[in-house]
Structure 1
Amino acid sequence: MPGVGVDPAAFARHAEELGLESLWHGDHLIPVTPFLDSTMVMAATAAVTTRIGLGFGVMVLALRPVAWAAKQVATLQRLSGNRVLLGVGAGGDPHGDAAWHAVGVPFAERGSRTDAALRVLPGLVRGEPTPLNGRDVVLAPGAPVPPLLVGGDSRAALRRAARFGDHWYPSFATTARIAAGVRELADLAAAHGRPTPGVTAGVPVALGDVPASALERRVRAMRDYGLGEEQAREVLVTGTPERAAERFAELAEAGVDRVVAMPFTDDRFRQAELVARAAAARP
C-alpha cells in the first residue's frame, strides 16, 4: 500500500486494474514513522475495489482487545465480500514500547497475549459463543474467518504459525532463512496434527531506475530495524522486472507461495506497474 500522502483508494483501484492479487498495509499505533490506521485503510480500499485481496501485514493483535479486533475483522469481511487476508503478529523491538504503554499492555506479555487472542479469535469472528473473561461472548453478525498469516521469523513465530496459521509470513528474511524455516515449520505443524502452513514472504522492492542514494537510505533504515548490513542488502529486490521475476522464482523454490512486494520509493504507482510486470514474467 502507499505511504502517507498517497491516496489509498486511488492506489487500490490502480493495483486492482493491474491484476495484482492483493494489497497489504502495516499496522502500528506509535511507529518510528507516521502510519495510517490499518483497519480504516482497508475499509476505504474495500469500498472502491471488487476483487483484490486486503492483507494486514501484520495486525499487532495484542494492542487491541481481542473482541474489538474480531469485530473489525468480521465487519471488513462483510464489507469486502470476504477478501481479508489476516496477517497477525506479536510486535517487535524496533518501534519500542511506546504503543504498548499507551494501551496499558506490558511489552513483555505481547507474545503470550497474541497466543491467547489467536485461540479465541476464530470463534469470535464466526459469531459463535466463545469463552472470554469468564463468560461466553457472541459477536453478531459473524463472518467467515479469513486466512490467518502469522508474521515473524523467530522460533516463537514459527511455533505460532504451526499451531494457528494458514500461512507463515516472514518479512525481510533471506531465501536461505525461509527455506530453513519451511523445513522447521513442517515438523512443528506435524506435532500439532496440522498440515504445513503455506508461506507468504514480504520483500522490499525498488524496480527500474532507482538512485543509489535511495537504496542506501533503505539499507540504513533496515539496519535501524534490526537487520545486519549483509542481510539488508541481500533481501532487497531491485533492477528490471525480469530480474525481480527471477528473485521471486528463487523464493518460490524455497517454499514461498505468495510474495508481498513492499516498495519504498516515492513512485508507488509506477512500482505497482513494475511489480505486475515482474509477476507476469515469472517462469
Structure 2
Amino acid sequence: MTLRSALWFPLFDELADPAVVVRLAAEAEEAGWDGLFVWDHVRWREPVRAAADPWIVLAAAATVTERLVIGPMVTPLARRRPVKLARETATLDRLSGGRLVLGAGLGSDRFGEEFSRTGEELDDRVRAGMLDESLAVLRAAWTGETVHHRGEHYVVDGISFLPTPARPGGVPVWIAGYPGKVAPMRRAARHDGFFPVNLEHPDQLAEAADAVRQLRAEAGATGLYDLVVSLVPGTDTAPWAAAGATWWLTDFEPHPLTVEAVRGVLRDGPGAVT
C-alpha cells in the first residue's frame, strides 16, 4: 500500500493570509502531494498574533485544486455547533468533489487558552461527550434523512440536511488522540481513521494499529481504514509505513513558521514510499 503524504501546518502569522495558502495548495498538487490539512484554532499563545479561519481557507483551496485531499486537522468539535458543521462539511465536500476529511478531537486549552478565554467547556470528560454526540449528529445529517436527536448537549428536532456530501457514506472522519488511552482509541475504531499524536517511535504506531484493528473487529467494522502519523520533514517514512501508516503529515513548529519554510518542504516533494 502506498503511504500518502500531506502538507499540514497552522494558519498563523504569515500563513494567516488565505491567498498565500491557496497558492501553496495549488503548488502542492502540482508537486505531487496527496493532501493539505490545516490547524483549527481561534488563537494561540504569544508570540503568535494572527490566525485564519480554516473552513474559508479550505473552501478557497478546493477551488484551485482537483485532486488534493483537504481538511481541518483537527477540529475540536466541542466548540462548534454540530448542525452548522453538518452544513459546512457537506457544502465543502461537494465543492471539492468529495475530497474532504474531517479531523476531530477534544482540543486543548493548553496552548492558546481558546476555551477558557471564550467561555467554552474546560472539562475533558464533558467535551468527550460533546464530541461523541456531535459525531452522531453529523453521521445522521450526512444521510440526508430527517434527524431527530435529543441528547445531553444538543437537540435536532426533525431537520433534514440537504444536499448531502458528495460521497454516499458521508465525510471520512479521522479521530485524533493519545495512543494507549482506551476512550479515544474506541472512538477512532468507530470511524474512518486514527491520528495518534505525540508518537516517538514506529513501534508505538504498530501497537496502536493492532489495538484499533482489534476494536474494529470486535465491533464488526469493515472497509478501508487510515492510520495517520505526523513526521518532521526529512524523516525516513519507511519504518512508519511498515508499522501501518497510510498517511504522513508534515510536522511543523507553529512559531516561527514562514511561508518560505513551508514552500521549501513543498518543493522537496512528498517522498512517499510504497
Q: Same fold (TM over 0.5)?
A: yes
Q: TM-score band (shorter)?
A: 0.7 to 0.9
- In 1: Cα distance, 2:37 partner to 2:237 partner: 17
Q: What residue is the counterpart of 2:214 in the other structure?
A: 187
Q: What residue is the counterpart of 1:114 in the other structure?
A: 131
Say if 2:203 is the partner of 1:203.
Answer: no
Q: TM-score, normalised by structure 2?
A: 0.80
* 2:148 pairs with one of 126, 131, 144: 131
Runs of 4+ in 1 over 4 A off after TM superposition: none
Q: Which amino acid aligns with 1:62?
A: A
Q: Which amino acid aligns with 2:194?
A: W
Q: What residue is the counterpart of 1:53 in the other structure?
A: 69
Q: What residue is the counterpart of 1:176 in the other structure?
A: 203
**Secondary structure of the equivalent of 1:84?**
coil
- In 2: Cα distance, 1:134 partner to 1:39 partner: 23
Q: What residue is the counterpart of 1:141 in the other structure?
A: 163
Cα distance per residue 1:64-116 (max 9 Å; x no partner): 11011111101101111111011111113533653255154343311111011
Q: Which moved more, 1:1-10 or 1:92-101?
A: 92-101
Q: What residue is the counterpart of 1:268 in the other structure?
A: 262
Q: What residue is the counterpart of 2:184 in the other structure?
A: 157
Say if 2:238 is the partner of 1:249.
Answer: yes
- TM-fit CA distance, 1:19: 1.4
Q: Which amino acid aligns with 2:245?
A: V
- Structure having greater relative contact order (Cα 8 Å, sep ≥ 6): 2
Say whether the 8 Å CA contact 2:193–2:228 is kept in structure 1. Answer: yes
* 2:91 pairs with one of 56, 67, 75: 75
Q: TM-score, normalised by structure 1?
A: 0.78
> Which structure 1 segments of 5+ residues have no match?
206-237, 239-243
Say whether the 8 Å CA contact 2:175–2:193 is kept in structure 1. Answer: yes
**Secondary structure of the equivalent of 2:249?**
strand
Q: Which moved more, 1:136-145 or 1:177-186?
A: 136-145
Structure whose residues are more often helix by fraction: 1
* 1:41 pairs with one of 57, 68, 75: 57
Cα distance per residue 1:6-26 (max 9 Å; x no partner): 401110110010111110101
Q: Percent identity, please.
A: 26
Count of paired positions: 240
Cα distance per residue 1:95-152 (max 9 Å; x no partner): 3653255154343311111011111212213322112316222122222312111111
Say whether the 8 Å CA contact 2:32–2:269 is kept in structure 1. Answer: no
- In 1: Cα distance, 2:134 partner to 2:98 partner: 21
> Which structure 2 segments of 5+ residues have no match?
1-7, 150-154
Say whether the 8 Å CA contact 1:202–1:260 is kept in structure 2. Answer: yes
Say whether the 8 Å CA contact 2:189–2:212 is kept in structure 1. Answer: yes
